[in-house]
Chain A
Amino acid sequence: MGMTLTEKILARHCGLELVEPGQIVNAKVDLVLANELSAAVAIKVMRGMTGAKRVFDPSRIALVADHFVPAKDAQSASLAKLMKDFAIEQKIEHFFDVGRGGIEHVVLPEEGLVAPGELIVGGDSHTCTYGAFGAFATGMGSTDIAAAFVLGEVWLKVPASIKLVYEGKTQPMVYAKDIMLRTVGELGIDGATYRAIEYHGSTVDELSITGRITMANMAIEAGAKNGIFHADAKTIAYVKERTDRPFVVERADADAAYERVIRIDVGELEPQVACPHTPDNVHPISEVTREDLPVDQVFIGSCTNGYIEDLRVVAQILEGKRIAPNLRVIVNPGSQKVWMQAAQEGILTTLAAAGCAVNTPGCGACFGGHMGTLGDGERAISTTNRNYVGRMGSPKAEIYLASPATCAASALTGRITDPRALAYVEA
């Protein structure tokens, strides 16, 4: 019996010929990631470990200040400082403070720190994003991250894999976000718990790297341990532009065993919206807009949709127009590099001229930390990945998740709007 892509990568990283679902393995990690929140707790744990003086390899750890930056208060500043001091003390090579990085999952691929076939663990649940590059990547808590810091290894249970096969060509104004929202809706928020998701099919072969990032990013929204694509020419070109580190492109065997195979035809797919209060409460936009749903805030950004490709879609829709009255639109380019690229292309000016507030890259608004928190009774439509009660602030707020295009269309009207309804779509 052959192995799935996830099994192949795990087997290589624990020096075994073969692994199978359910097996517990001790795997070597290529990179360990933490942000200032997960790092702070991990550093505390590491300091309490007897014999743990140094990290296993200062070149294989990435520390990114992104959750409460620029520091929202003294307490947040102290966590960022704790991480910075640790980075200096341990000579961590990949340390990104505010102004030099951005959202961890946007930064790491940009910096060439993610390559096909690698095994990456991170103190953030959206670490699964790197599956877009054919890497095995999964989120863990801070104690596990502390263990990985010092051992350079993690214990893992080999997950069974679910194969998702996407066929068909998407209609205009339908994006990777819509495909993934539909997928989470189909699977349910615990539909892939303890499982790997392996993405296949002609639709995803055609997707850009950014589209694959969006889809891998939300694997956790179905409870998955990881979500993974096969690396292809596009992936290899992207990675080789950013690093000369050697890597191994793995492929699932033809006779690999999948727990389930699900086929999804995207040809007729409409833009999708996850309604409050779970990411699997997904409906086609035509159903959602049957009700008039005015919004107080539109948010564009995050590790799901904070990429240059996303900002281009939004700028194209808002170009030369003004956002609706009594609405605030917050745009958060995913990284410093995305911010600079958007500035060079005139996107930031387009958005600001339309009435959007453009923020410094970071995670703040998405998790209700700061820089875009919702109040009681407010409704938001957002390009982020979670809409649980209180996720973006008040437990009495409502969050709808959608693509950058749907969010931009809603920014023009001030209510949840089908981007296909905008006149220029015809042009």
Chain B
Amino acid sequence: MESKLRGHAHKYGKNVDTDVIIPGKYCNIIDPIELGKHALEGLDPEYTGRMRAGDIIVADTNFGCGSSREVAPIAIKGSGTSAVIAKSFARIFYRNALNIGLPIFESAEAVDRIESGDEIELEPENGTIRNITKGESYRAAEFPPFMRSLIDAGGLVPYVEKRLAERN
């Protein structure tokens, strides 16, 4: 994963669902950049116009609930958003985000403290969330050991490739 990520926070509420992250009508798009043009369109149509590359989505509980569409995290990544911080993530979104390499951070404290516009620096390797604007630091929940080993292996695809090689 990338070393440090830096950008401004855009804060949203709880249950940000996959239908607002990438509305169904765009689900026939595969290209990440094209998808990125519509990221969060159902929730905040101005998001992609306002955000700068590297910016960070901050949301309450159950981020990414709803559909299994992998284009949801792909759209977020394609928009240039560097990461999502939330109090919790919906199950399928969590898996998808890790599989496609969108950094995600679980931290209730960070979400409660961060305000929209705050400048944030993230260290994905150790889960550190630094609020530069407020001069504070928070820690994201650690990934469970199996997830950590998948991330360290470079994600699911290299893991599968290794398994296939072992079979042959």
A interface with B by C-beta (< 8 Å): 24, 37-38, 40-41, 44-45, 48-52, 67-68, 72-73, 75-76, 79, 123-125, 127, 139-144, 146-147, 150-151, 155, 157, 189-190, 193-194, 223, 225, 278, 367-370, 373, 386, 388-391, 393, 395
Contact = CB atoms under 8 A, between A and B. Distances in A.
Contact of A143 (B17, B96, B163): B96
B20 interface: yes
Interface stretch (B58-66, B76-84, B111-119, B128-136): B58-66
Interface stretch (B3-11, B25-33, B47-55): B25-33
26 contacts: A38-B68, A51-B161, A52-B160, A52-B164, A67-B28, A76-B28, A123-B68, A125-B92, A139-B68, A142-B70, A143-B96, A143-B156, A144-B95, A144-B156, A150-B160, A155-B146, A189-B65, A190-B61, A190-B90, A223-B91, A368-B19, A386-B67, A388-B19, A390-B19, A390-B42, A395-B42
Contacts, number: 148
A396 B92 CA distance: 27
B154 interface: no
B92 A141 contact: yes
Interface string B7-24: 000000001010110011
A157 B147 CA distance: 10
A140 B62 CA distance: 16
Contacts of B104: none
Contacts of A151: 160, 163-164
A141 B20 contact: no
A373 B26 CA distance: 13
B141 interface: no
Nearest to A149: B160
A150 B162 CA distance: 12
B148 to A, nearest CB: 11
Contact of B69 (A37, A48, A150, A389): A37
A368 B165 CA distance: 42
